C-alpha cells in the first residue's frame, strides 16, 4: 500500500474542503477502498475518514418515503423495521450482498460508489481503461463471463456489482450530494452512473469534493416486491444476474410494475421498456416473456457471457411469476 | 491511562518520512496506546504491534473471515479496516473470550463437536458466531429468512450456514461448525 496521510472529519461541512486536496479520497467502511489500496489500484495520498460523520440516521419522511443516511451500515439498513416492512426488496438486496462481517462495516454511500469486480480491473498486469485511461481492455478478448450485456462500449464491459443499488433503482431513489460550498443537490440513481463510452474511468457524475450524504426513497409503489440474485455460489458471491421487481395485480391484470436488473451493465439497469409491456396486461407467462424480451432488446454478449441474456430473461420471468402469484392471493 | 505506548518501530521498519498516528484502542477490556503508520490495518495492529496473534491473517482481503473480531460488539473483518479509524473503540479478540480453564461456550462447543481440523479459521469462526448470534437475537433477517419483515428468527441450519458464509474453512469442517454453533444457539435444527 502506498503511504498516505490520515484525517478524520466530524462535521459534514468540513468534508468537502478536506477532500479537495490533490490525491485525497474519502474512506467510510473501507471494505472496497482498502482492498483496492492494498493492490495499489487505488493510491490516495490523503485519506479523509468520514465514517464518524452524523449521517447514520434512517428517518421516515412526511410523504411516506424514507431517508437513509450515507453513513448507515448495510446491516443497519437491512435490519431497519421500516425498510423491512415497506421496502423489503431493499432489505433482500442488501442481505444478498457480501457477508455479515462486511455488511457491518460497509456504508450505504460506499456501496453506491464501490468499484467493479472485473478481474482485469483488479489485475494490474492486465490492460484496463478504467484503471489506466487509454490502456485498452483485456476483458474484451479475455474471460468475460461476468461482464456487461447492456450499454457496454469497446473501451469497457465492466458491470456495477451492487445488489443494493438495483433495489434502489426500482424504488426511484434520489441520491443526496453535498458539495464543498455546502450546497445540496439530488440526483436520480438512474442518472448517477455514467455509461463507459470512451471514458470508463469516469463512473458517476459526482463532482470534485462532493460527498454522498443520504439516499431518499419515495413512498413504496403498490404491489409485492422481490429481489432475486442468481450466482455461482449460494452465498457470499457477486451476481451473474439479479432482478428487483415490484408488481401489483388486480383480478389477473398487472396494474403497476417496476423492473431493475443487476450485473448486466455499468449501473443498476432499470427497464422501463419491460414495465411498459407489463402494465395493463394479464399476469401470464406470455406477458412476462414479452417483458423479458423488451428488457433485453439490444443486449449484446461478449462470448463467455452470452448466456446472461437468456439468464436475465428467465430470472425476470420466474421472479415476476412468483411475485404476481403471491400477490393474487389464495383465490 | 497507564497503558504502555507501543511504538510502530517495534514491529515494522517504516520509512522515516511516514507520519505516525496515535491511536487508543480498548482491546479485551484493556486500553492500549499505539503509534502507527496510518496504513496499519486493525489486524496488523493486533498481531504485529500488540502481539495478539490469536486473530489470524488469511487472505487479507475480506474474503476468508479468519481475521474476524468484534468491534463495539459487532463482527467485522479486521484486515479491511485501518487501526487509526478505530480510536477509542472496544475491540474483542479470541484472547478476550475465554481461558483454557474457563472456555467460552462456543470454544467448548467447537471442541465438543470437533469443529476444526487445522484450527486456523477457528478464532474467526468463533468471533463471527458470537456476532452472528447477537444479530439473530436482535431479530436481524438473513438472505434465507422467508419473510424479511418478520421479527422472529429461528436459527435453522440453513440460517446458520447463510449467516456464517463470510467464514471459510479450508479443511471443510462445516458440518461440525454448524453443529457447534447450533448447540450454543439452542436453535431449531432442520
pLDDT digits (tens, 9 = 90+) for A38-77: 999 999 999 999 999 999 999 999 999 999 999 999 999 9
Predicted pLDDT of residue A326: 56
Are residues B90 and B130 located together in one domain of the fold?
A: no
DSSP state at residue B47: I
Q: Does A91 touch chain B (CB under 8 A)?
A: yes
Confidence of residue A247 (pLDDT cuts 50, 70, 90): very high
Q: Which of B48, B68, B96 is the last residue of a domain?
A: B96
Average pLDDT over all residues of chain A: 97
Confidence of residue A330 (pLDDT cuts 50, 70, 90): very low
Structural domain contains residue B87: yes
Which residues does residue A270 pair with via DSSP β-bridges, in sequence order? A260
B125 contacts B113 by C-beta, under 8 angstroms: no
Residues 97-126 of B with CB under 8 A from A: none
For the cut 90, the answer to whether the pLDDT of residue A19 exceeds it is yes
Q: Residues in chain B, how many?
A: 190
Q: How many domains does chain A have?
A: 2
Are residues B42 and B111 located together in one domain of the fold?
A: no
Rounded CA separation A33/A35 (Å): 5
Q: Does A78 touch chain B (CB under 8 A)?
A: yes
Which of B131, B141, B151 is opposite residue A95, by nearest beta carbon? B141
The residue of chain B with its CA nearest to that of A38 is B61
Partners of residue B84 in chain A, C-beta under 8 Å: 6, 49
Domain with B66, as residue range(s), is: 5-96
Q: Which of B96, B130, B151 is the last residue of a domain?
A: B96
Q: Does A123 touch chain B (CB under 8 A)?
A: no
Structural domain contains residue B147: yes
Structural domain contains residue B190: no
Region A304-323: what's the mean pLDDT?
98
Q: Does B23 touch chain A (CB under 8 A)?
A: no
Structural domain contains residue A245: yes
**For chain A, percent of residues with pLDDT exceeding 90:** 98
Predicted pLDDT of residue B151: 82
> How many angstroms separate the Cα of A26 from the Cα of each of A8, A50, A160, A262?
10, 7, 20, 26
For the cut 80, the answer to whether the pLDDT of residue A113 exceeds it is yes
Lookup result for grid cell 434520489:
A174
- Quote the distance between the C-alpha of residue A141 and its chain's center: 26
> How many angstroms separate the Cα of A239 from the Cα of each of A17, A147, B55?
37, 11, 30
Domain with A11, as residue range(s), is: 5-51
Structural domain contains residue B62: yes
Predicted pLDDT of residue B2: 43
> How many angstroms separate the Cα of A2 from the Cα of each of A36, A45, A108, A260, B9?
11, 8, 26, 38, 18
Per-position pLDDT tens, chain B of length 190: 444 566 554 444 544 456 788 999 999 999 999 999 999 999 999 999 999 999 999 999 999 999 999 999 999 999 999 999 999 999 999 999 999 999 999 999 999 999 999 999 999 999 999 999 999 999 999 999 999 999 889 999 999 999 999 999 999 999 999 999 999 998 444 3
pLDDT digits (tens, 9 = 90+) for A148-179: 999 999 999 999 999 999 999 999 999 999 99
pTM above 0.90, yes or no: yes
Residues 37-56 of A with CB under 8 A from B: 38, 47, 49, 51
Q: Is the ipTM of this complex over 0.90?
A: yes
State whether B62 and A1 contact (CB < 8 Å). no
Are residues B76 and B113 located together in one domain of the fold?
A: no
CATH of the domain at B50: 3.10.20.30
Which of B74, B80, B140 is opposite residue A30, by nearest beta carbon? B80
Q: Does A98 touch chain B (CB under 8 A)?
A: yes
Structural domain contains residue B60: yes
Amino acid at each position: 500500500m502506498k503511504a498516505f496521510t490520515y484525517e478524520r472529519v466530524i462535521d459534514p461541512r468540513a468534508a468537502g474542503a478536506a477532500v479537495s486536496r490533490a490525491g485525497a479520497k474519502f474512506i467510510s467502511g473501507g471494505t472496497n477502498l482498502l482492498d483496492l489500496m492494498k493492490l495499489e489500484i487505488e493510491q490516495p495520498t490523503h485519506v479523509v475518514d468520514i465514517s464518524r460523520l452524523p449521517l447514520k440516521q434512517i428517518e421516515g419522511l412526511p410523504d411516506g418515503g424514507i431517508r437513509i443516511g450515507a453513513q448507515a451500515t448495510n446491516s443497519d439498513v437491512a435490519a431497519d423495521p421500516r425498510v423491512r416492512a415497506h421496502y423489503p426488496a431493499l432489505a433482500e438486496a442488501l442481505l444478498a450482498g457480501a457477508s455479515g462481517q462486511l455488511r457491518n462495516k460497509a456504508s450505504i454511500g460506499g456501496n453506491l460508489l464501490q468499484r467493479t469486480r472485473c478481474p482485469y480491473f483488479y489485475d494490474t498486469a492486465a490492460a484496463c481503461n478504467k484503471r489506466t485511461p487509454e490502456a485498452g481492455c483485456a476483458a474484451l478478448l479475455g474471460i468475460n463471463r461476468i461482464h456487461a450485456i447492456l450499454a457496454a462500449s469497446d473501451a469497457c464491459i465492466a458491470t456495477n456489482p451492487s445488489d443494493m443499488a438495483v433495489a434502489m433503482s426500482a424504488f426511484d431513489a434520489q441520491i443526496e450530494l453535498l458539495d464543498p460550498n455546502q450546497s445540496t443537490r439530488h440526483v436520480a440513481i438512474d442518472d448517477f452512473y455514467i455509461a463507459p463510452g470512451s471514458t470508463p474511468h469516469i463512473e458517476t457524475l459526482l463532482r470534485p469534493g462532493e460527498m454522498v450524504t443520504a439516499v431518499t426513497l419515495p413512498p413504496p409503489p403498490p404491489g409485492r416486491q422481490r429481489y432475486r440474485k442468481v450466482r455461482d455460489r449460494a452465498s457470499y458471491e457477486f451476481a451473474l444476474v439479479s432482478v428487483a421487481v415490484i408488481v401489483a395485480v388486480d383480478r389477473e391484470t398487472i396494474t403497476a410494475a417496476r423492473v431493475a436488473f443487476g450485473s448486466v451493465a455499468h449501473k443498476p439497469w432499470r427497464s422501463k421498456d419491460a414495465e411498459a409491456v407489463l402494465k395493463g396486461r394479464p399476469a401470464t407467462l406470455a406477458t412476462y416473456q414479452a417483458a423479458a424480451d423488451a428488457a433485453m432488446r439490444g443486449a449484446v454478449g461478449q462470448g463467455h457471457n452470452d448466456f446472461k441474456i437468456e439468464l436475465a430473461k428467465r430470472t425476470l420471468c420466474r421472479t415476476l411469476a412468483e411475485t404476481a402469484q403471491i400477490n393474487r392471493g389464495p383465490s | 491511562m497507564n497503558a504502555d505506548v507501543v511504538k510502530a518501530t517495534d514491529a515494522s521498519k517504516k520509512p522515516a518520512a511516514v507520519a505516525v498516528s496515535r491511536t487508543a484502542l480498548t482491546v479485551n477490556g484493556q486500553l492500549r496506546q499505539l503509534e502507527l503508520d496510518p496504513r496499519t490495518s486493525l489486524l496488523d495492529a493486533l498481531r504485529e504491534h500488540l502481539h495478539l496473534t490469536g486473530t489470524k491473517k488469511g487472505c487479507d482481503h475480506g474474503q476468508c473471515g479468519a481475521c474476524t473480531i468484534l468491534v463495539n460488539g459487532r463482527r467485522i473483518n479486521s484486515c479491511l479496516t485501518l487501526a487509526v479509524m478505530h480510536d477509542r473503540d472496544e475491540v474483542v479478540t479470541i484472547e478476550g473470550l475465554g481461558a483454557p480453564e474457563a472456555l467460552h461456550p462456543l470454544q467448548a462447543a467447537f471442541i465438543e463437536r470437533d469443529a476444526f481440523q487445522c484450527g486456523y479459521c477457528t478464532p474467526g469462526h468463533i468471533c463471527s458466531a458470537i456476532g452472528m448470534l447477537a444479530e439473530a437475537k436482535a431479530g436481524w433477517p438473513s438472505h434465507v429468512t422467508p419473510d424479511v419483515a418478520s421479527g422472529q428468527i429461528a436459527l435453522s441450519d440453513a440460517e446458520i450456514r447463510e449467516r456464517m458464509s463470510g467464514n471459510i474453512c479450508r479443511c471443510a469442517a462445516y458440518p461440525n461448525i454448524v453443529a457447534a454453533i447450533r448447540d450454543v444457539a439452542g436453535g431449531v435444527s432442520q
